[in-house]
Structure 1
């Protein structure tokens, strides 16, 4: 049957590794790792006329957050923000997170996340290449076969998993409550972070990590299709060997002749 062929599972391994590479590349370049809603701090702006009843009213276009509100989003390299001071949305202002957010959280952690993602990108490419090699031939060298595919996908899943864990910890500890530069928080701007949430790019990273883990299943199926005894212990392999019992019988016969 089609799904019993080793080449099918090897090809699926290569395809999944390639899809993971695309997801990682998309995630690392995307500016939508964190999204934030912003509000004008009416306590600072006007203590006698609270503005909360006007928050978000009268937007002038689809990306305008509305009166006395703001929006922001950012990724691993850059981000953008837009404020509405009550007279229509201002123009988008884009920034480098390494300048804008240096006083909010440790941007060195973001650099470590990027390094881990690049490691996962590299080994996803290697897994793709060797998945195709296993599709077209049965490699003689151990590292070119299933063992290598386990290793390449294993490194990729560890690297992408560590990147995801580091970023979500940084988000939970530092980004969840504040994403604005002090110039935006102080007078005359007086904006504050209302709430934040993880964007689509972070979930692309999680999806890539999950696909690397799924690849272990396809590598195992490819290995089993080629050699059904691959996962048996040495003792069980001997018992399944047709010459095992005959060899035992011959030794018994030999012992009988001696006696």
Structure 2
């Protein structure tokens, strides 16, 4: 592949990787990871609410990794309440999973920035053959993609398996019991999915630039050695 096309591919991958770092950082700071509605079952049972009357007992909830908001509906109008995970909910939620999600988000940002820098270095500099070169780009892209997948798996298990929304809704509630009525992942969660796909795409761009995947068996070692000598 001509050098100019290779530079263009590496620059494109570097920009995409940098955009992923910014997108992940923005996602961490928002409350748009989960949106849902919560039903005040105690109030609904007291008045035997059905049909349209049931909507008077359905509140809303949305939250991110650090804070959120819920609207408490128990038949007398909505009452918005703000909450934060640290330190209020640490004893209520699965703290180890939640902290792991935040940790992997931080790792994703770091390696997305590292990958972006090395993509630009490969485009305009003279990289070494190992971690600074294409093999390193495969490594940074793989780590970033893996972190994105782990974030989605861990957060999904926290929300769905450990019933995170119900635990938040029933925090410090003595008289009323709330159940999840509906629940869906919001924009920030899907941003992490997009970032994972972008890092996977970056690995394909490296292959498109003419560099074999790691651990693949070269067909002609002499030709590849000559190419490496010309590139580096």
Q: TM (normalized to structure 1)?
A: 0.74
Bigger Cα Rg = 1
Name the structure 1 match of 2:75. 86
Instruction: Specify every segment of 5 or more residues in structure 1 that has no aligned partner in the other structure, as ranges.
Output: 57-66, 225-229, 241-259
**Number of residues of Structure 1 aligned to a counterpart in Structure 2:** 220
Residues of 2 paired with 1:4 and 1:218: CA distance? 14
Name the structure 1 match of 2:157. 169
Name the structure 2 match of 1:112. 100
Cα 1:44–1:71 change in 2 (3 A) is closer
Out of 206, 220, 223, the position equivalent to 1:219 is 206
Check if 1:55 corresponds to 2:68.
no
CA contact (8 A) 2:59 2:71 kept: yes
Name the SS for the 2:31 alignment partner. coil
Name the SS for the 1:144 alignment partner. coil
Residues of 2 paired with 1:207 and 1:35: CA distance? 19
Out of 65, 90, 100, the position equivalent to 1:76 is 65
Name the structure 2 match of 1:16. 16
Residues of 1 paired with 2:135 and 2:73: CA distance? 57
Name the SS for the 1:39 alignment partner. strand
Residues of 2 paired with 1:86 and 1:3: CA distance? 68
Check if 1:200 corresponds to 2:187.
yes
Deviation (angstroms), 1:43: 6.2
Residues of 2 paired with 1:141 and 1:125: CA distance? 20
The CA deviation string for residues 136-155 of structure 1, in whole angstroms up to 9 with x for no partner, is 13424532221121111111
Residues of 2 paired with 1:150 and 1:31: CA distance? 32
Q: TM (normalized to structure 2)?
A: 0.81
CA contact (8 A) 1:40 1:68 kept: yes
The CA deviation string for residues 180-225 of structure 1, in whole angstroms up to 9 with x for no partner, is 22433x41x444322322222111111111111110011122245x
Name the SS for the 2:183 alignment partner. strand
